[in-house]
Amino acid sequence: MAATQRIVIENGAIATVDDRDTEYASGYVVIADHRIESLGAGTAPEGLENVVRRIDASGHLVTPGLVNTHHHFYQWITRGLATDHNLFDWLTALYPTWARIDEPMVRAAAQGSLAMMARGGVTTAMDHHYVFPRGAGDLSGAIIGAARDMGVRFTLARGSMDRGASDGGLPPDFAVESLDEALAATEETVRQHHDPSFGSMTQVAVAPCSPFSVSTELMRQGAELARRLGVRLHTHGSETVEEEKFCHELFGMGPTDYFESTGWLGEDVWMAHCVHMNDSDVAAFARTGTGVAHCPSSNARLAAGIARVPDLLAAGVPVGLGVDGTASNESGELHTELRNALLVNRLGAHREKALTARQALRLGTYGGARVLGRADQTGSLEAGKLADLVLWRMDTLAHASIADPVTALVLGAAAPVTASFVGGRQIVGDGRLLTVDEDAIARATRDEARRLARIAAHG
């Protein structure tokens, strides 16, 4: 076996996001192979062996890598459409275009989505993919391959829709799979790609899309499948008033009660949005340990409302942040969500007490790792955890005069990423991706977006 190789990072401010929110004004982190070996105030211990690299982090803030908990990569090639719509009108406008995607489009869109996030400090990504047109190729394989090439830790939430318009659902019939197809393909994806080990780069979750695009049977059997295979469950929930109305009309109950009745509350479940929840819904999430992916930019873009994040946190509900698909959040950056989580929640009932900058950073790191079921491995800087961490440059025009580095990161402009490590492997250097060709990805996404627009226009 090769000798342990060490990387020493010194002289930077460090926000560990551990359970005591330990910070060092100037400290060190020692990476040994894939993991964090030690960290603390001052300079690294003397006499470390096999140090292959020393990084001077003066003028930087070191944090855990950001964790994204909700996204739809394919939307990277349908950005800037239906910009003044609410969720249901926006979906109805976009489904016909989305139903025409194929494997090269999905690959390019995944590369674009991942590149944008990785450059901005994301070390753990996820994609909720639920559009599988017949004959479109191996979409799950293309998405997972894109994440592997980039070197980002990744969860694919294998989505599905089987409630077409003729069954009272929102998507057109041509955009949905059958119940049996969806379950079989999801099981196959788990068996082929899911790696449950410590430090795994690829995990798969079972993820029917939403109450208004999925049959009750697919919700029920999807939950059973996930538990039989030992993987996590993900879906959209309680996003809009229209969804709430839909659930009352079709099921005679609100979304949270519907989820509970179909097996969709539990500590192995995380749900995107959770905007329209009453006190008993919040209590049900807390009682069952169900996690939430808070997506403030997308919720604002689609006029969905403000999730009750301070109440969810006070109740002990695990909460992470999500970019959501870039057709409803064109920036595609998770940094924006740290800031918007803080700002949007201060517009709610708790006003200036809603969230602190440190809580926002926690949502985007440890909170995300928790909802993805990986808080024992990533999401905070602690000895023994994976070396997933970011060096943010804080000594340039944008941030140098901001009093506190965590405030600068959360409320300031998007901070330049000097270096980003995933499992001890550097994937970003001086703001550029080291693992893939960013310019080639930009060209491919532009070409595939144009090809999709052409195909969609011709029907």
Applying CB under 5 A, which residues contact Zn ion?
272, 324
Contact at 8 Å (CB) between 306 and 340? no
Report how far residue 218's alpha carbon sits from residue 341's, in angstroms, rounded to the nearest whole number: 32
Of residues 272 and 312, the one with the C-beta less far from Zn ion: 272
Angle between helices 438-458 and 87-98 (to 10 degrees): 90
CB of 360 to Zn ion, least distance (A): 20
Of residues 271 and 381, the one with the C-beta less far from Zn ion: 271
CB of 392 to Zn ion, least distance (A): 27
CB of 130 to Zn ion, least distance (A): 9
Of residues 81 and 411, the one with the C-beta less far from Zn ion: 81
Contact at 8 Å (CB) between 202 and 154? yes
CB of 374 to Zn ion, least distance (A): 20
CB of 27 to Zn ion, least distance (A): 37
Beta strands at 60-64 and 389-393: parallel, antiparallel or unpaired: antiparallel
Contact at 8 Å (CB) between 452 and 77? yes
Of residues 6 and 70, the one with the C-beta less far from Zn ion: 70
CB atoms within 10 A of CB 349: 11
8-state DSSP, 353: G
Of residues 24 and 90, the one with the C-beta less far from Zn ion: 90
Residue number with the smallest Cβ distance to Zn ion: 324
Report how far residue 289's alpha carbon sits from residue 341's, in angstroms, rounded to the nearest whole number: 21
How far does CA 121 lie from the centroid of its chain?
A: 12
CB of 391 to Zn ion, least distance (A): 30
Of residues 177 and 324, the one with the C-beta less far from Zn ion: 324
Of residues 324 and 448, the one with the C-beta less far from Zn ion: 324
CB of 407 to Zn ion, least distance (A): 29
Report how far residue 416's alpha carbon sits from residue 30's, in angstroms, rounded to the nearest whole number: 22
Contact at 8 Å (CB) between 195 and 202? yes
In three-state secondary structure terms, 428 is strand
